[in-house]
Amino acid sequence: MKPKILRVGVVQQACDDNRDHNLRTSETAIREAAASGAQLVLLQELHTGPYFCQYESTELFDLAEAIPGPSTEFLGGLARELGVVIIGSLFERRAPGLYHNTAVVLESDGSLAGIYRKMHIPDDPGYYEKFYFTPGDLGFEPIDTSVGRLGVLVCWDQWYPEAARMMALAGADLLFYPTAIGWNPDDDEAEKGRQCDAWTTIQRSHAVANGLPVIVANRTGFEADPTGTLSGAQFWGSSFVVGPQGEFLAQAGTEGAEVLVVDVDLARSENVRRWWPFLRDRRIDAYSELTCRFRR
């Protein structure tokens, strides 16, 4: 097939507790990507502020906002001005006492093309997300845009092959993972290496298993635990773009803000799926027990 090029931008940034400053930092990066020809720009998870889930506090629910709301209005105006699709990640206040970790997709005309509510919610030291986020209820549905059908997932979703497969089976053209993941500073270098390698490998495997490009934006920088209970989080950056065989097209460093701008050939997915017809050879008649929690 003839190449079908989509130029994507990936923003990796550090965040502080100043929402306006974080949004302006994102804006500068989006403008940089658009000036380099990006048609779509992916921002990292919860990019309007610090990763607040390191501890539990009911006061932090005040950070949540409605969708549509101030951030979608801001990002939508930027999308309209620059003529790009923008994927953002927000703390959604759906109703009093009901909150989600929600990805938003702004079309190039500024309209809200759709949302995805994070389905898999972690609860680990330093990642107390179950306290803040209700699991998503919109399923694994891609969002149609002018640049393609976008399979948007969020952070912890990236470890689950089922999520990527469901998006692929619903016709996604690409998979996107806005992310906030980092090291525990108390871990030794070997353990840090294993964790980051596993994170990269599992997402590359989603590209291979589904024959789709995968685009990942992770935050960077150290964020302290305000309570002093834990040692904080050193977010490891390493944002990347891979093609449908898991091949690296670009990758950011582990430290520091970066903007990646990468050409992705969407036609390669068709070719790769012809060579490796995993979807054709799936034994869907034998997979019913996948819906079990455990088989023994």
CA distances, 21 to each of 28, 226, 257 (Å): 11, 20, 14
Say if residues 95 and 64 touch (Cβ distance below 8 Å).
Answer: no
Residue 45 annotated to the active site: yes
Residue 292 annotated to the active site: no
Q: Which of 15, 45, 107, 258 is the catalytic position? A: 45
Classify residue 187 by burial, with Cβ atoms within 10 Å: 0-12, 13-18, 19+: middle
CA distances, 75 to each of 10, 16, 178, 295 (Å): 15, 19, 16, 45
Q: Which of 15, 92, 118, 223 is the catalytic position? A: 118
Tokens encoding 100? 């989600």
N residues, the chain:
296
Q: Which of 15, 65, 107, 155 is the catalytic position? A: 155
Nearest to 202 by CA among 256, 240, 150: 240
Residue 192 annotated to the active site: no
Catalytic residues: 45, 118, 155
